[in-house]
Structure 1
Amino acid sequence: MVVERLGNNKVRIFISYEDLEERGIDRDEIWQNGRKVQELFWDMMEQAYLEVGFEVMGPIAVEAFTMPTEGVVVIVTQVPSIPEETDKNREEEFAADEQIITVDHSTAITFMFDDFENVLSAAKVVFSSFDLTTSLYHYKDRYFLFVNEEEMEQEDSDALWALLYEYGTMSNVTLAVLEEYGKLIIKDTAIETLNQYFA
């Protein structure tokens, strides 16, 4: 299970088909609101809280889509609600939490690939659909693609995420670690450069 915070009120969670099988959930069963699926959902929410501080408070909207061989992507959005009575202390506490969450929000993702062929395959698919700032690193015998999502619409970001997951996996390795300990292969124009030289 991989959790990524998308903003103040939204998280994206990836769960593989292997994870589902371990929980005794069939692929078709994920769309049913059975006990196992409910338990899975609240496990995901607990994981989201532990990893990125996303806490379910009030109404939420849940979107899910499947990838043919990888697993299921679930996007959970906290829906704004207006409380009947809110005292001043809770307003101030909420404002403080909002500031912390905003600071933690990331506008970049890092994907890890086991071999260079997978990097090339991902670059070819992404190049035709997106205009991105991407850097490629080599670290601990794997390849890491750092993608800046700052100017992307949310819908495009989700589509990009799903495409990259066909060839690699999301990584928690930060840009700072890659710059310090990894080897920079291509800076800022990785997707374009790979397609130029390995088309």
Structure 2
Amino acid sequence: MKIERLSQDRIRIFLTFDDLLERGIQKDDMWREPPKLHELFLEMMEQAYTELGFDASGPLAVEVLAMPAQGMVIIVTRGKSNNAGDERSREEDELEDDIYDMEVTMEQSDVVMYAFRDFEDVISVSKQLIASRLTESGRLYSYNGRWILAIEPSQVDASKQQAVIALLAEYGEAISVTYAMLEEYGKVIMPEEAVRQVYNHFHF
């Protein structure tokens, strides 16, 4: 589980499927097992408080984005509380109470996104994808000092999708951002056929 602060009142949490399985949550449970998700949310808020000092009291807007290839991204935004001045001790027994006033929105995205620290890794994975005849598609972004390759599953044969993910994972790491974040805070380098373009420009 990775937690990062986006602003004073907003955090982002990235859970891989291994994180979920460790907690007894299957991929499909994200949509149909509220009690399990409630326990998971309590754990996440405890960790956010411990690591970042993020106090999740008051109204919360919770955006959940499920990405079947990578895991689950949760963005928690804290609203204004009427009791903002109250000091709240975080005893274990308090965590059993329904202390969160949440508005939850859930989305699902099949887009495969991987981040690469060096452009050489983007070149290497593109060569491998082309050589293995897996895909020539994808969008390439620059974001937070890294290169992000986003591939739509609709542009990859279903029988080849796991092979594509396995190759991407060899050179990069799954990243917990959405297209909206990339468009707003990143830079589009190659809007289409990124794998083919990288291969054509750097194949020597």
- TM-score, normalised by the number of residues in structure 1: 0.51
Decide whether aligned partners of structure 1 residues 120 and 46 sit closer, same or farther in structure 2, where only a CA change above 3 A counts.
Answer: same
Q: Is the 8 A contact 1:111 1:145 kept in 2?
A: yes
Structure 2 residue aligned with 1:116, among 95, 115, 119?
A: 119
* Counterpart residue number, 2:135: 131
Aligned pair count reads: 122
1:175 has 2:179 as partner: yes
Shift of 1:191: 0.5
Is this contact kept in 1: 2:138–2:192, CA < 8 A? yes
Deviations 1:7-28 (A, max 9, x none): xxxxxx654xxx9xxxxxxxxx
Q: List structure 1 segments (4+ residues) > 6 angstroms apart after TM superposition.
A: none
Partner of 1:146: 150
Letter matched to residue 43 of structure 1? R
Structure 1 CA distance for aligned equivalents of residues 31 and 130 of structure 2: 33
Residue 45 in 1 paired to residue 30 in 2? no
- 1-structure distance, mates of 2:161, 2:149: 15
- In structure 2, the CA distance between the partners of 1:139 and 1:155, relative to structure 1 (3 Å rule), is same
Q: Is the 8 A contact 1:132 1:148 kept in 2?
A: no
Q: Indicate conservation of the 8 Å contact 2:139/2:190, yes or no.
A: yes
Higher deviation after alignment, 115-124 or 145-154: 145-154
Give 1:143's aligned amino acid.
W
Q: Percent identity?
A: 31
1:160 aligns with 2:164: yes
Distance 2:32 2:146 in 1: 30
Cα distance, 1:48 vs structure 2: 7.3
Residues 89-122 of structure 1 deviation map (CA, whole Å, 9 limit, x = unaligned): xxxxxxxxxxxxxx83323111111111111111
* Distance (whole Å) between structure 2 residues aligned to residue 162 and residue 155 of structure 1: 13
Aligned ranges 1:1-199 → 2 under 5 Å:
15=18, 41-43=21-23, 45=25, 49=29, 52-53=30-31, 55=33, 104-128=107-131, 129-199=133-203
- Extract unaligned runs of 5+ from structure 1: 3-12, 20-39, 57-73, 76-102
- CA 1:44 to 1:116, structure 2 compared with 1: closer, same or farther past 3 Å? farther
